[in-house]
């Protein structure tokens, strides 16, 4: 299912070539659908960037793998909140600089934090992830970890509290939000093992996008937003609002 969403920023009449098609997948509090509108931290950042470029944004909500396919085939122009992966360079241009930091965390059932203190403990656990998502190396390519994939975040949390998996991987902003959203915060806890990844969240443009010739302009505007603290301010304000 494709959910079509649109949002304009300034009171101008936009030509068709001023429409930026952005694919998003459900990743609260970064990207989500609420009352028929795309909302979330990354939506706020994307809107601010598009406004600087005098572009209208049309969002397409898709499963994560379909987002990548749309970018590969040139059906979409841009996607945010993406981790850099070499295998995607053939069809994506990652915009510099990265704009979002990430720390990978693991949730276990309440009282079981001792089971995951270091990486090697993962070999004794059933680990829940979202289908198609990449996290960090060596985790992503480690064939000795018992990985269980689902298509929706909520499924992982329900599997965890019911004992069908032993832990799940999240990032440090999305995890606390989801734990409260799904009503399981009192049933799970964060394991001591964490993986700080620094700034590794990128905007990526399809190499088949009509805007690929303007990529330097996109990067200039994004760089100014990062350097002036605008991106960090949007993230902080959004998190404060969504975690109330």
pTM: predicted TM-score of the whole model, two decimal places: 0.70
* 128 and 193, same domain (yes or no): yes
Buried b (16+ CB within 10 A) or exposed e, 194-205: ebebeeebbbbb
Determine the pLDDT at residue 16: 54
Chain mean pLDDT for the chain:
90
* 91 and 209, same domain (yes or no): yes
Residue 132 and residue 231 in contact, taking contact as beta carbons nearer than 8 Å: no
* 213 and 232, same domain (yes or no): yes
Q: What are phi and psi of 156, to 5 degrees?
A: -65, -45
Determine the pLDDT at residue 176: 87
**Looking at the 3D structure of the chain, how many domains does it have?**
2
Q: Of the candidates 180, 2, 35, 112, which has an alpha carbon nearest to the alpha carbon of residue 170?
A: 180
Write the CB contacts of 42 (distance below 8 Å, at least 6 apart in sequence).
Answer: 24, 27, 30, 31, 80, 81, 100
Separation of alpha carbons 192 and 139, rounded Å: 17
Within 29-152, residue ranges assigned H as helices are 41-52, 64-73
Write the CB contacts of 16 (distance below 8 Å, at least 6 apart in sequence).
Answer: none
Lowest mean pLDDT among 9-13, 22-26, 124-128, 135-139: 9-13
The CATH number for 57's domain is 3.40.190.10
In this predicted model, which residue has the larger pLDDT, 207 or 17? 207
Both tokens of 3, joined, read 């959910």
> By three-state DSSP, how is residue 80 classified?
strand
Both tokens of 131, joined, read 């289908």
* 168 and 231, same domain (yes or no): no
* 122 and 44, same domain (yes or no): no
Determine the pLDDT at residue 243: 58
- Predicted confidence band of residue 17 (pLDDT cuts 50, 70, 90): low
Q: Check pLDDT > 70 for residue 15.
A: no
DSSP classification of residue 242 = H
* 136 and 162, same domain (yes or no): yes
| Over residues 208-218, mean pLDDT | 97
Model confidence pLDDT, tens digit, residues 45-92 = 999 999 999 999 999 999 999 999 999 999 999 999 998 889 999 999
Q: Check pLDDT > 80 for residue 11.
A: no
* 59 and 139, same domain (yes or no): no
* 145 and 182, same domain (yes or no): yes
CB-CB neighbours of 15 under 10 Å: 8
* 145 and 221, same domain (yes or no): no
* 79 and 115, same domain (yes or no): no
Q: Of the candidates 47, 44, 34, 30, which has an alpha carbon nearest to the alpha carbon of residue 82?
A: 30
* 66 and 115, same domain (yes or no): no
Separation of alpha carbons 15 and 20, rounded Å: 11
Determine the pLDDT at residue 132: 84
Query: Residue 40 belongs to what domain range?
Result: 3-99+198-242
Separation of alpha carbons 173 and 14, rounded Å: 35
* 208 and 128, same domain (yes or no): no
- Predicted confidence band of residue 198 (pLDDT cuts 50, 70, 90): confident
């Amino acid at each position: 299912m494709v959910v079509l969403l649109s949002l304009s920023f300034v009171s101008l009449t936009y030509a068709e070539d001023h429409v930026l098609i952005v694919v998003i997948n459900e990743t609260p509090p970064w990207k989500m659908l609420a009352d028929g509108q795309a909302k979330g931290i990354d939506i706020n950042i994307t809107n601010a960037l598009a406004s600087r470029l005098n572009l209208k944004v049309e969002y397409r909500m898709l499963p994560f793998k379909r987002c990548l396919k749309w970018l590969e085939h040139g059906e979409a122009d841009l996607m945010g909140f993406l981790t850099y992966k070499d295998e995607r360079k053939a069809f994506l241009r990652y915009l510099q600089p990265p704009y979002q930091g990430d720390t990978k965390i693991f949730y276990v059932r309440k009282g079981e934090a001792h089971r995951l203190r270091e990486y090697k403990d993962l070999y004794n656990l059933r680990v829940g992830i979202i289908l198609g998502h990449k996290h960090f190396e060596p985790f992503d390519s480690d064939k000795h970890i018992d990985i269980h994939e689902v298509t929706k975040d909520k499924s992982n949390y329900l599997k965890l509290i019911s004992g069908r998996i032993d832990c799940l991987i999240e990032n440090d902003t999305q995890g606390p939000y989801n734990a409260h959203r799904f009503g399981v915060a009192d049933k799970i806890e964060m394991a001591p093992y964490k993986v700080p990844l620094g700034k590794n969240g990128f905007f990526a443009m399809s190499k088949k996008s009509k805007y690929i010739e303007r990529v330097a302009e996109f990067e200039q505007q994004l760089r100014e937003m990062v350097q002036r603290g605008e991106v960090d301010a949007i993230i902080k304000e959004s998190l404060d609002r969504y975690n109330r």
